[in-house]
Chains A and B, each alone.
Chain A
Amino acid sequence: MSNELKELEDILKITFSKGLVKEVRKVEEGHFDILTTPDKAYDLMKILTEDAGIYHLSTVTAVEREKEFNVFYHIQHRIEEEFREVSINFIVTGINKDKPKTPSLLDFFVAADYYERECYDFFGIYFENHPFMQRLILPEKWPDDVRPMLKEYGWEELKEITLGIAKQISEND
Chain B
Amino acid sequence: MVEETFRSRFRTEVDGSDAPPGSDYHMFIGPQHPWCEEPAHFIIHLKGERVVEANIRIGFNFRGMEKAMEARTWRHNTMLIPRACGICSAVHQNIYVRVVERLAGIEDQISERARLIRMFSCEAERIHSHILWYGILAHDAGFDTLLHVSWRDREIIMDIVEDLSGNRVNPALMLPGGVKRDISKEKADRTKPKINDLIKKVEYHKKVFVEEASIRNRLEDVGVLTKDDAKKTTPNGPTGRASGLPFDVRKASPYELYDQLDWNLVYYTEGDILATTLVRLDETLESLRMCNQILDKLETAEGELLARVRPKIPAGEYFGRGEAPRGEDVHYGIANGTDKPERYKIRAPSLGNIDATLKRMDGEYIADMPVILRSYDPCFSCTNRVMIVNDTTGEKMIIGQDEFALKAIKAKKYNRPFF
Contact surface of A with B, Cβ cutoff 8 Å: 27, 30-31, 55-59, 61, 63-64, 72, 74, 76, 78, 80, 83-85, 87, 89, 106-107, 109-111, 113-114, 117, 132, 134, 136-140, 148-149, 155, 158
Contacting pair B8 A85 (CB below 8 A): no
Q: Mark B105-143, 1 if CB is under 8 A from A, else 0.
A: 000000000000000000000000000000000000000
- Complex interface: chain B residues within 8 A of A111 (CB): 8, 233-234, 352, 355
Nearest chain B CB to A107 CB, angstrom units: 6
Beyond the given A64-B343, A134-B11, A137-B58, please list 9 additional residue pairs across the A-B interface where CB-CB is below 8 A.
A27-B318, A27-B319, A58-B328, A107-B2, A113-B11, A114-B351, A139-B59, A155-B67, A155-B71
Nearest chain A CB to B4 CB, angstrom units: 11
For B59, give its contact among A56, A87, A137 (CB under 8 Å). Answer: A137
B16 an interface residue at 8 Å Cβ cutoff? Answer: no
Contact surface of B with A, Cβ cutoff 8 Å: 1-2, 6-8, 10-11, 14, 58-59, 62, 64, 66-68, 71, 231-234, 236, 245-249, 251-253, 265, 318-319, 321, 328, 330, 332, 334, 343, 345, 347, 351-352, 355
- Complex interface: chain B residues within 8 A of A136 (CB): 10, 58-59
Closest to A154 in B: B71
Can you give 7 A-B contacts (C-beta < 8 A)?
Answer: A27-B319, A83-B248, A89-B319, A111-B352, A113-B11, A117-B10, A138-B62
Contacting pair B1 A61 (CB below 8 A): no
Contacting pair B318 A110 (CB below 8 A): no
Nearest chain A CB to B2 CB, angstrom units: 6
Contacting pair B2 A78 (CB below 8 A): no
Contacting pair A55 B253 (CB below 8 A): no
Nearest chain A CB to B249 CB, angstrom units: 8
For A132, give its contact among B11, B231, B233, B246 (CB under 8 Å). Answer: B11
Closest to A149 in B: B67
Bound together, the chains give a CA A100 to CA B71 distance in angstroms of 25
Contacting pair A110 B6 (CB below 8 A): yes
For A83, give its contact among B8, B251, B345 (CB under 8 Å). Answer: B251
Contacting pair A58 B14 (CB below 8 A): no
Contacting pair B2 A106 (CB below 8 A): yes
For B332, give its contact among A72, A132, A155 (CB under 8 Å). Answer: A72
Bound together, the chains give a CA A117 to CA B245 distance in angstroms of 27
Top 4 nearest A-B pairs (CB, nearest first) are A113-B8, A85-B252, A137-B59, A59-B347
Given A83-B251, A110-B2, A113-B11: A57 in contact with B234 (beta carbons within 8 A): yes
Closest to A156 in B: B71
Bound together, the chains give a CA A4 to CA B252 distance in angstroms of 21
